[in-house]
Amino acid sequence: MHFFAYPQEMTSTSWHRPAKASLEDANDGDIDLISLGRRVRHLRKAQGKTLDDLGAAVGTAPSQLSLIENGKREPKLGMLQSLAKALEVSMDQLLGTEPPSRRAALEIELERYQRGPLYESLGLPKIRISSRLPMDVLESLVGLQNELERRLNEQIATPEEARRANADLRRQMREQNNYFPEIEQEAVKVLAAVGHTTGPLSHHLVADIAAHLGFSLHNVSDLPHSTRSVTDLKNMRIYLTQSQRSEHSTRSILLQALGHYVLGHETPESYAEFLRQRVATNYFAAALMMPEKATVDFLQHAKTAKEIAVEDIRDAFAVSYETAAHRFTNLATEHLGITVHFQKVHESGIIHKAYENDGVTFPSDHIGAIEGQSICRYWTSRAVSTFRTSSAPTTSTPTRPPARSGAPRGRSVPRRASSR
């Protein structure tokens, strides 16, 4: 989860700092009227001026200035220049996109919500935003709006839309043999900056990567239960939980958070975009923990010896079996000429996720989605060992059904990927 909190100044809601408005923007009419109005009001009050005082200085009626401060009237270029002069700031400062204070940021957020279609659809009366509105009430109102928007966004992706997005993404992965050179290149740049080439990526090196990218790390104990990390882009801080409750590696969680920044992700506008970003950050984290050159060299040696095993990749780079299996699918076809399939299956036989470029046919629905489909009980993922939800997946080239119907319960055999 990535959360953009309000510090003393408003935090950007995307992975890049917004460009400041400029004189050219003013000429094009591309001005954030709400932000401009709050900034004019803040500057006016900081100088101890009334609307009458500022109106006299710029040659306009106080009522017209009030409309500007409330974001209900767009001033002409001449008026903007007069306001900048009267308030003793430059045009860039006057048109800056960042609110001048935390309160101003909250007021802007609430005003935008109230002018949006979501608030209008609720049929609620609009709240008059003024200096008399208590800060805690303002924070609560914005918090409620954020939570309402989040819940509605979760409902946007219908089950069918989610299945289509998964099917489309798997198709793209298959077309590229699950190999994405642009992400590999970004990982190489980051690793070169901290001097890492091979072997397990230590937590110390992960911290060095964060520092290289300009982030400071903070371990806290009060993150929400389902939250893995919190990224404050304004202050370049990443908050990680001190709790050991998560089954996910702190190292991979941090690298995924950094991946959003390095890969230039914006706030996703659809479930498909969200899914692509999640896969990309997982790929990026794996490419850091298992560098392409070092992993390919390891696999080439194992292939020559006919001893390719996902367990060996796991042990060599100190990652989970599932991470090693995913990484094998990234590199096996591109560098070794081996086609593969990957599957993670619940003990009930339901597919959690899968990938293939070797011609294996997974069960699918009418739109090509495989998630939630039942796998054949004679496939190795069900016949070789007993699986639980959190167990590791099976990665292999096409396999024949095992001679026996299954291994004794509680036992498993080494899961190796044949290079034949």
Kindly report the backbone phi and psi dihedral angles of residue 123, in degrees, each rounded to the nearest multiple of 5, phi listed first: 70, 25
Task: Give the model confidence (pLDDT) of 302-340 as tens digits.
Answer: 999 999 999 999 999 999 999 999 999 999 999 999 999
Q: Which residues contact 224 (CB under 8 A, 6 or more apart)?
A: 1
What pLDDT score was predicted for residue 306? Answer: 93
What pLDDT score was predicted for residue 340? Answer: 93
What pLDDT score was predicted for residue 156? Answer: 57
The three-state (H, E, C) secondary structure of 121-189, written as one string? HHCCCCCCCCCCCCHHHHHHHHHHHHHHHHHHHHHHCCHHHHHHHHHHHHHHHHHCCCCCHHHHHHHHH
What pLDDT score was predicted for residue 415? Answer: 44
Q: Looking at the domain that runs over 19-97, which CATH code has it been given?
A: 1.10.260.40
Q: How far is the C-alpha of 169 from the C-alpha of 228, rounded, in Å?
A: 24
More confident position, 264 or 26:
264
Exposed/middle/buried for residue 30 (C-beta within 10 Å: 0-12, 13-18, 19+): exposed
Q: How far is the C-alpha of 224 from the C-alpha of 226, rounded, in Å?
A: 6
Say if CB 414 and CB 309 are below 8 A apart.
yes
Task: Give the model confidence (pLDDT) of 85-115 as tens digits.
Answer: 999 888 888 887 777 788 888 888 888 888 8
Instruction: Please give the structure tokens belonging to residue 386.
Output: 């007993």
Strands 216-220 and 237-241: parallel
More confident position, 380 or 272:
272
Q: How far is the C-alpha of 420 from the C-alpha of 410, rounded, in Å?
A: 29
Q: How far is the C-alpha of 49 from the C-alpha of 63, rounded, in Å?
A: 15
Q: Which fold has domain 178-285?
A: Arc Repressor Mutant, subunit A (1.10.10)
- Using the predicted structure, report yes or no on whether residue 7 has a pLDDT greater than 50: no
- Using the predicted structure, report yes or no on whether residue 139 has a pLDDT greater than 80: yes
Instruction: Please give the structure tokens belonging to residue 190.
Output: 């980051």
Task: Give the model confidence (pLDDT) of 227-261 as tens digits.
Answer: 888 999 999 999 998 755 445 578 999 999 999 99
Instruction: Please give the structure tokens belonging to residue 105.
Output: 């940021």
